[in-house]
């Protein structure tokens, strides 16, 4: 009993001493604890802010959630569809779309296209609709052009891109829509374009060929997890649309012999994301547009706030990612990052000409990789295709505020070719962190004319003399003798 009392007294005294010690430490270090608390709070705040800013670095492109679940779902077979590759399913698609259109106020509906080959003529979508292509589902466009409706020319083009007058519509079409989703388990939309390409080369068509998918004057569009292939003309053409997301889409056409089969053509579009796609086609992988000469100037709808990221592209005829040449309404605030271009004629290109008007500005390229590409970066101002003789040759485009950072690759003949002119000067171009393995050991492989800008830090191969040189810390090393030096060699 005495031992227990002594032990308890010792324990109580120990706890009392420990409590006093803690109070003393806290009291004597109150200021330190306060400072540490403030620093910790500030660090967490800044860390969270950086994370949020990093995730929303392109917050100029608003991320509006698009509903993925519809209250009602139909199968194409419910409307008489037959997926044997022979039966025409146009009426089945039309009946299904009409049924979904009646459900708009209730959230719309989903049309499931099951496994099979579903031959059809062009048909229209409706608002609040999900078109879902199951695995091994293939929507086949009928090859006979008499089933393809004629539509008025696009107002910002003035006439058909290939012929005056009307143009063929797209296989899957939509106008003045809201909340449309095309998705699936990597099902396919196949335009069976080979007959169109042959007739085009043989000059047997009297109207401009139609795209595979075209959505016009619409908003809140999502296209994901599908394959688009063998389009008669441009593959995916959003026209004057807002809030579009295209992700995990594979786009295919032969790299030779499939003329004008661009992958994705954002045209006078605003707030758009294109991500995680594979594109191998017979023209530009992506071509950002905004109208053609005087018609595009009059229409006046720019393409702006566009993010393109995480793409693999092959284009042996044209370029991986292009801006123009039809850019008369203007193109601005475009970011291209994490782009891999392989086995191609050009990697990234801006193309325009006198008569276009408009502007291309605030364009940022980051983390580009070129693999076996003839010309890496191209800016050209003499792309002289015009709709008719009514264009104004004094309508000169503005090219300015172009940034290239983190450009790498191998097997490139000409890493950079910037071909400005006395009338169309290329302004404020920046190169930073560039190292491209070249396949030609000629002297002039970083080519420039009529361009003003800067090189920051290490750039290989040696940049042209038109550009000012800065070190990694932004300190001027050497001022360019003249931005007007011309050093363009198209022989290699």
Active site residues: 283
Pairwise CA distance, residues 341 & 339, whole Å:
6
The 8-class DSSP code of residue 289 comes to: B
* Token code pair at residue 316: 């042996």
Report the SS3 class of residue 56.
Answer: coil
Distances (CA, A) of 454 to 208, 347, 405, 479: 42, 21, 12, 9
CB proximity list for 52: less than 8 A, separation 6 or greater: none
C-alpha 2 chain-centroid distance: 85
The alpha carbon torsion through 129, 133, 137, 143 (nearest 10 deg) reads 50
| Residue appearing with tokens 């705040």 | 45
Classify each residue of 230-262 as buried b or exposed e, where b means 16 or more C-beta atoms within 10 Å of its C-beta: bbbbbbbbbbbbbbbbbbebbbbbbbeebbbbb
Confirm if 185 and 227 have CB atoms less than 8 A apart: no
Q: What are phi and psi for residue 411, nearest 5 degrees?
A: 65, 40
Please name which of 350, 241, 343 lies closest in space to residue 286, comparing C-alpha atoms.
Answer: 350
């Amino acid at each position: 009993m005495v031992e227990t009392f002594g032990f308890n007294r010792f324990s109580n005294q120990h706890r009392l001493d420990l409590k006093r010690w803690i109070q003393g430490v806290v009291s004597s270090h109150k200021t330190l604890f306060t400072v540490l608390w403030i620093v910790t709070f500030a660090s967490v705040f800044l860390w969270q802010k950086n994370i949020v800013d990093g995730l929303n670095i392109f917050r100029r492109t608003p991320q509006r959630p698009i509903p993925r679940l519809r209250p009602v779902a139909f199968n194409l077979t419910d409307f008489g569809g037959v997926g044997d590759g022979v039966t025409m399913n146009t009426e089945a698609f039309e009946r299904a779309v009409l049924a979904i259109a009646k459900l708009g106020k209730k959230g719309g509906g989903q049309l499931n296209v099951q496994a099979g080959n579903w031959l059809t003529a062009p048909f229209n979508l409706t608002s609040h609709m999900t078109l879902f292509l199951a695995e091994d589902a293939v929507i086949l466009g009928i090859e006979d052009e008499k089933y393809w409706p004629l539509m008025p020319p696009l107002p910002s083009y003035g006439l058909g891109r290939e012929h005056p007058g009307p143009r063929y519509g797209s296989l899957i079409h939509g106008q003045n829509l809201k909340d449309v989703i095309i998705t699936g388990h990597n099902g396919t939309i196949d335009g069976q374009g080979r007959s169109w390409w042959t007739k085009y080369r043989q000059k047997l068509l009297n109207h401009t060929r139609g795209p595979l998918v075209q959505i016009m004057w619409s908003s809140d569009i999502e296209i994901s997890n599908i394959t688009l292939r063998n389009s008669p003309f441009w593959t995916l053409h959003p026209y004057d649309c807002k809030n579009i997301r295209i992700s995990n889409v594979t786009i295919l056409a032969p790299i030779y012999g499939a003329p004008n089969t661009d992958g994705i053509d954002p045209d006078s579009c605003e707030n758009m994301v294109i991500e995680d796609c594979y594109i191998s086609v017979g023209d530009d992988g992506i071509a950002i547009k905004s109208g053609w000469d005087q018609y595009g100037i009059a229409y006046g709808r720019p393409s702006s706030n566009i993010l393109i990221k995480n793409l693999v592209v092959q284009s042996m005829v044209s370029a991986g990612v292009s801006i123009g040449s039809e850019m008369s309404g203007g193109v601005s605030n475009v970011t291209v990052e994490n782009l891999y271009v392989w086995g191609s004629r050009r990697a990234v290109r801006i193309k325009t000409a006198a008569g276009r008007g408009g502007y291309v500005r605030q364009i940022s390229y980051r983390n580009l990789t070129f693999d076996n590409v003839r010309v890496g970066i191209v800016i050209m101002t003499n792309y002289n295709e015009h709709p008719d003789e009514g264009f104004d040759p004094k309508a000169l485009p503005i090219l300015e505020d172009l940034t290239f950072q983190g450009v790498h690759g191998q097997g490139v003949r000409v890493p950079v070719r910037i071909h400005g002119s006395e009338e169309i000067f290329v302004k404020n171009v920046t190169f930073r962190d560039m190292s491209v393995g070249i396949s030609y050991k000629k002297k002039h492989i970083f080519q420039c004319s009529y361009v003003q800008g800067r090189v920051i830090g290490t750039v290989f191969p040696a940049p042209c003399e038109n550009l000012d040189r800065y070190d990694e810390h932004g300190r001027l090393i050497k001022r360019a003798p003249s931005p007007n030096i011309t050093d363009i060699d198209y022989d290699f």
